[in-house]
Amino acid sequence: MKFTSEQRSSRQAKIVTFAILLESVHDDHLENAIRHKTNRFLQSRKIKIGSEDLLQCAVNIYHGIRVPISNMYSEQKIQYVRCTGEKTWYGQPARQDWVWVKASKHHHDHEPAYGALQGCVPYRLLKLFKLSAGGGHFWYTFVQTTTPAAGGTPERASGMVKVVTPSVGRGYAVISSDTIAGAAHLIPEEPDCSGIANKGWIVNSHIDLATWNEVY
């Protein structure tokens, strides 16, 4: 099953400008990160646009994306991963799902990157949006990134892989929405109630997310 970018996105929110998107982020560090990472992404796509012109570009903000996957029985399923930004989720805190991102291609003559993670890395969705710039439409995802500890080798105690906040910076990126491969489930080392900033997560590989997605 192959989806276009339009089909992968769920119901869209109102159309705003990139400047208004930035204003919706109530954190100066995140605002600067979105601006900087979006500029870098556009440059990687050979799109040249000035900072002031970028602020006026039209943006469609989305709160979810459809991802076609195969479950454990090789049946085709659709997962909905969600990113509500600053909006609450059914009376609960904002929902910012973890997803698998295809960060490395698997070449036949090489082992896949990241060990047991098979060339994918879990990232956390922070913003889903379509940006109209340079005469084209670009489907972007602003994410919190992680990096596998121990090269992706499972820990001896849990048998699962640990990922951590990148050592350089706080770990953010703008990626193409097409690189999202499905939902991920991460267990933080520090619970929210501890008051300690979490910097590491255990990747829960003991869950069928195709089934979990249907009831969550």
The predicted pLDDT at position 24 comes to 86
Residue 19 pLDDT: 95
Q: On the CB side of 113, how many CA atoms lie within 13 Å of its CA?
A: 12
Q: Is pLDDT of 35 > 80?
A: yes
Model pLDDT, residue 9: 62
Specify the pairing of strand 98-102 against strand 76-82. unpaired
Q: Tell me what the mean pLDDT of segment 176-202 comes to.
A: 83
The pTM of the whole model exceeds 0.85: no
Catalogue the E-assigned strands of the chain: 12-17, 58-62, 64-70, 76-82, 98-102, 120-133, 136-144, 147-148, 162-164, 172-176, 180-184, 186-188, 200-203
For the segment 12-20, the average pLDDT, to the nearest whole number, is: 82
Tokens of 38: 């979006």
Residue 141: pLDDT band by 50, 70, 90 thresholds? very high
Distance in angstroms (rounded) separating the CA atoms of residues 42 and 54: 10
pLDDT of residue 215: 39
Q: Does residue 115 carry a pLDDT above 80?
A: no
Report the candidate in 96, 176, 111 with the shortest Cα–Cα distance to residue 141.
Answer: 176
Instruction: Give 174 or 157, the one with higher predicted confidence.
Output: 174
**Residue 203: closest CA among 126, 148, 145, 141:** 148
pLDDT given at position 48 = 87
Integer Cα distance of 165 and 188 in angstroms:
11
**Token pair of 73, please?**
């029985």
Residue 109 has pLDDT above 80, yes or no: no
Distances (CA, A) of 103 to 22, 115, 133, 147, 181: 26, 13, 25, 11, 10
User: Looking at residue 216, what is its pLDDT?
Assistant: 42
The domain limits of the chain are 5-215
User: What is the C-alpha separation between 117 and 184, in angstroms, rounded?
Assistant: 11
Is residue 144 scored above 90 in pLDDT? Answer: yes
Higher pLDDT, 200 or 103: 200
Smallest CA-to-CA distance from 176 within 135, 129, 136, 144 is with 129
How many angstroms separate the most distant Cα atoms in the chain? 52
Highest-scoring range by mean pLDDT, 59-73, 79-93, 123-137, 179-193: 123-137
